[in-house]
Structure 1
Amino acid sequence: MISLSEIDTTTKRATKAMGFSWGVAEEVGKNMRLLELYGLPGVKNLNEYFKNYKIENYKSIKVISEINEATSTPYCPIELGINFLDQITFVENVKEIKFINIAFPLLFLPFIIRGSEVIGKRIFCKIDEKEFLLNFNQTIYSNFLKSEVINNCKLINISFVDNVNTFSENEWNEIYKISEKTFVEESESLKRDAAGAGLTDND
């Protein structure tokens, strides 16, 4: 089995060979490591993307708004992802963002995963009917488990999930009260030992 480190290095070099800058190549390498770590087909989709990249002349985007639509040529997932990550602290205030017509959307996904870690919020991402709940770059919950190439999607819908406890204040107080039973009162000998600590005469 090929290691994640080798996947990172090789896909980074391949991205540079396709004409991207080293900075972009570094980002792609990290992303491929992430996708493969989570069992998603990153290398497979990147390979197909490279076969189409210079033929299709994918559309770029600079400023991300609430609704972003590529009318004829699809958005480039890598350029879209880099701009999304750069603008993440601003776009999180929009609550919900739509991207219409994106090529190889799985290549955009790791940028969203990393964005979740940057802003410290969960992000819910829906790629057509495929759902992903991204948890601070720690875990992914998804209904997509296939190792397949997704050449294009009609719609990516992104929403930012506010951080809330899954338990009530009363439930927390109950569990906290149980935890207090582990507190042990100091015995008299422990108190004497603590009181005398550091008082040794070295003269």
Structure 2
Amino acid sequence: MKSLSEIETTVKRASKAAGYSWGVSEETGKSIRLLELFSLPGIKHLNEYLNQKNKSKFESLNLISENNSSLNNPYCPITLGVSFLDQINVLENLKKIEFKNVAYPIIFISFISRSSEIIGKKINVKIDEKKMLLNLNVNIFSNFIDQEFPKIANTIEVNLLENEDNFTNDEWNNLYKLSEETFVEESDSLKEGAAGAGLTDND
């Protein structure tokens, strides 16, 4: 079994050999490493994309807006991903971003997952009819289980979620009230041993 370090290094070198800069190649290595860590087909789809890259034309998108569409050729998932990473602090204010016609979207997803960690928010992604929840780059939850990831996504919808508790105030208050039973009442001996001036002056 290949180590994650070996995967990252090999992907970085292969991406450079395919024509990307060392900076972009390094980001690609980190992203594919992430996919393999989560048992997603990063190496497989990167291989297919790099082989296809020499035969087909893919579009780059440097400045991302609320609605992004490539009418002719699909977007390159790597340059799109790097752009998303670079602009995430601005894109966070858009809440919802849409991309149309993206090649090998699973590669793009890995960059979005890393962006989730940067802004400290969960990101909900919809690839055509399939959904994924990116959780601060800690895990990726999806309903793609046992299904092949598409090579072209007609539409990718990215929703940046506000941080909210998954429980109600009543549920929290009930739990907190129960936890209070472990609190220790402050006794005279505890007061005497507390921080601050004691009974004896050592000066």
**TM-score, reference length from structure 2:** 0.91
**Matched ranges for 1:70-109 at <5 A:** 70-109=70-109
Amino acid in the other structure paired with 1:180: E
Query: Which stretch has the larger CA shift, 14-23 or 37-46?
Result: 14-23
In 2, the alpha carbon distance for the partners of 1:190 and 1:5 equals 52
CA 1:198 to 1:64, structure 2 compared with 1: closer, same or farther past 3 Å? farther
In 2, the alpha carbon distance for the partners of 1:193 and 1:163 equals 41
| TM-fit CA distance, 1:130 | 2.0
| TM-fit CA distance, 1:145 | 2.2
- Match of 1:157? 157
In 1, the alpha carbon distance for the partners of 2:51 and 2:90 equals 33
Amino acid in the other structure paired with 2:9: T
Query: Which stretch has the larger CA shift, 74-83 or 87-96?
Result: 87-96
| TM-fit CA distance, 1:17 | 1.4
RMSD over aligned Cα atoms: 2.0
- Match of 1:166? 166
- Match of 1:5? 5
- The CA deviation string for residues 10-44 of structure 1, in whole angstroms up to 9 with x for no partner, is 11111111121111111011001110111110000
CA 1:89 to 1:196, structure 2 compared with 1: closer, same or farther past 3 Å? closer
| TM-fit CA distance, 1:186 | 3.9
Query: Any idea what SS the aligned residue of 2:54 has?
Result: helix
CA 1:199 to 1:94, structure 2 compared with 1: closer, same or farther past 3 Å? same
- Match of 2:24? 24
In 2, the alpha carbon distance for the partners of 1:171 and 1:145 equals 32
In 1, the alpha carbon distance for the partners of 2:126 and 2:21 equals 29
CA 1:199 to 1:13, structure 2 compared with 1: closer, same or farther past 3 Å? farther
| TM-fit CA distance, 1:72 | 1.2
Identity of aligned residues (%): 51
In 2, the alpha carbon distance for the partners of 1:91 and 1:118 equals 12
| TM-fit CA distance, 1:149 | 5.5
- The CA deviation string for residues 167-202 of structure 1, in whole angstroms up to 9 with x for no partner, is 222222221111111111244444444477695849
In 2, the alpha carbon distance for the partners of 1:198 and 1:40 equals 64
CA 1:95 to 1:190, structure 2 compared with 1: closer, same or farther past 3 Å? closer
Amino acid in the other structure paired with 1:135: N
In 2, the alpha carbon distance for the partners of 1:10 and 1:150 equals 24
| TM-fit CA distance, 1:146 | 3.6
Amino acid in the other structure paired with 1:117: E
In 2, the alpha carbon distance for the partners of 1:142 and 1:108 equals 15
Amino acid in the other structure paired with 2:163: N
Aligned residues: 202
